[in-house]
Amino acid sequence: MGHYKGNKKTAQALDTFVKLTRAANSVSAATGVQLAGADLTESQFAVLEVLYHAGPLCLTVIAHKILKTGGNLTLVVKNLEKRGLVQRKQSAEDRRYFSLHLTPKGKRLITEIFPKQAARITEVLETLTPDEQTELARLSKKLGLSAGQKS
């Protein structure tokens, strides 16, 4: 894509897309080492983290919070259940409703790994000044919202 010879608008968009993708992949790789050490995927970590900070939730709410589709999330949750890190509990009021809870083992793991992960993310993003981080967050949100509306 780096050698696109078409119009300037498209060339700039492609160049920006490549740089954004490379940056996201680099940051993901730099922050994923600890997760790999704990044998967790980014999605599994995200589920554990949201349950740790928000408490038990239904899968729909979790999917919305971590930006995953229901199908992907079902597999992620099954794998966390197999490891004994989370468990589903049926609602007493509505038997069709399940919420997902951290088990004591899951809580121990996320309590141990979350501060290390937060520190690593902070370390990686300190390449940018606080103002640059704020601007990147703003631009990322704007781009994400725009792309979401067009798909």
* pLDDT one-digit tens code per residue, 111-150: 999 999 999 999 999 999 999 999 999 999 899 888 876 5
List the domains of the chain with CATH numbers. Answer: 39-150 (1.10.10.10)
Q: Yes or no: say if 67 and 77 are a contact pair by the CB < 8 Å rule.
A: no
Q: What pLDDT digit, counting tens, does each position of 34-80 carry?
A: 898 899 998 999 999 999 999 999 888 898 888 776 678 889 999 99
Radius of gyration of the chain (CA): 19
Q: What integer best gives the mean pLDDT of the chain?
A: 89
Amino acid at site 27 = V
Q: What is the pTM of this model?
A: 0.80
Instruction: DSSP for 36-47, please give it.
Output: HHTT--HHHHHH
Of residues 113 and 90, the one with the higher pLDDT is 113
Q: Yes or no: say if 84 and 16 are a contact pair by the CB < 8 Å rule.
A: no
C-alpha dist (Å) from residue 137 to 21, 132, 141, 142: 15, 8, 6, 9
Helix (H, G, I), strand (E, B) or coil at 49: helix
Alpha carbon of residue 93 to chain centroid = 31
Q: How far apart (Å, rounded) are the C-alpha atoms in residues 126 and 85?
A: 32
C-alpha dist (Å) from residue 37 to 40, 52, 81, 133, 138: 8, 20, 19, 27, 32
